Amino acid sequence: MLVETNDCLVLIDTGFGLRDAADPHSRLSRFFLTLLAPEFREEFTAVRQIAALGFDPRDVRHIVLTHLDFDHAGGLDDFPHARVHMLSKEREVAEAQRSLLDRMRYRPQQWSTRHNWTVYPAMSGEKWYDFECVRQLQGVPPEILLVPLLGHTLGHAGVAVERTGGSWILQAGDAYFYHAEMDLAHPRCTPGLRFYQWMMEQDRRSRLANQQRLRDLKRNHGKAVRIMSSHDVNEFESAAHRVITALPGGPVRA
């Protein structure tokens, strides 16, 4: 997600980067490469898509991360001059590399710009609707907020962006994976995605509680706040006004 401000560009997460596309086996775990089988193409990277939109990637001065999982932070290398913002617990857990899963999901090979990282405690700052948040990210316009949504990781956050006219987009990252999880009457998820979320979660109680808080936000403020996750195809197509087509016998392409 790219935000154009008065004087710079702000990128919300990075997806995979150029180095991931060029040599994924040196950057990512064999387990996740086998499990997810991503298609690596240079034109899919954020830095190439930003250039294709007519922007100069060097104008990305800030990157706000939902979390440091390999599929959200792989492009950090492509923006060496950008300040990177995240919750402090996310950096702490990612750098500790305590468990095998942590070592597979958090890839230091992607962190050549870690000297640019700026971190914030999860529970400081003012409220945004019913969520605690950090309003004053250093150097970032006040219309962009880091909203703690712990559970998927211990330092996971959403990123709220106020649009012209006063409405908001909340990029909820991996707080949920499937659009029907935000259904107010009968929330549901596909078995495969339910299993994947269970496998990756670091705090189940917080993850499920924050999903309920997101549904409450949708119920009470759905006209003012548009909620979307990082991985749902339907939400992407609706937000980007682009349709993703699955090629016969091949991977999904945008």
Which tokens sit at 32? 């996740």
Dump pLDDT digits (tens) for 189-219: 999 999 999 999 999 999 999 999 999 999 9
- 238: which residues sit within 8 A by CB, 6+ positions away? none
Number of domains making up the chain: 1
Domain that holds residue 105: 2-253
What CATH number does residue 137 fall under?
3.60.15.10
Give pLDDT, residue 95.
98
Task: Report residue 123's pLDDT band, with 50, 70 and 90 as the boundaries.
Answer: confident
| Distance between CA atoms of residues 165 and 194, nearest Å | 36
Mean pLDDT over each residue of the chain, to the nearest integer: 92
Instruction: Note the pLDDT tens digit of each residue in 155-173.
Output: 999 999 998 888 999 999 9
Inform me whether the pLDDT recorded for 77 exceeds 70. Answer: yes
Calculate mean pLDDT across residues 111-116. 97
d(CA 244, CA 177): 17
For the cut 70, the answer to whether the pLDDT of residue 243 exceeds it is: no
Q: In this predicted model, what pLDDT tens digit does every residue of 41-57 receive, in sequence order? A: 999 999 999 999 999 99
Q: What is the pTM of this model?
A: 0.92
Q: Would you say residue 34 has pLDDT above 70?
A: yes
Alpha carbon separation from 59 to 5, 85, 88, 160, 186 (Å, rounded): 10, 16, 25, 21, 43
Q: How confident is residue 124, by pLDDT bands cut at 50, 70 and 90?
A: confident
Judged against a pLDDT cut of 80, whether residue 138 lies above it is answered with: yes
Q: Where are the beta strands (DSSP E) in the chain?
A: 2-4, 9-12, 60-64, 83-87, 117-120, 127-128, 131-132, 144-148, 157-162, 168-171, 225-228, 245-246, 252-253
- What does each C-alpha distance from 173 to 7, 41, 150, 156 come to in angstroms? 25, 22, 11, 8
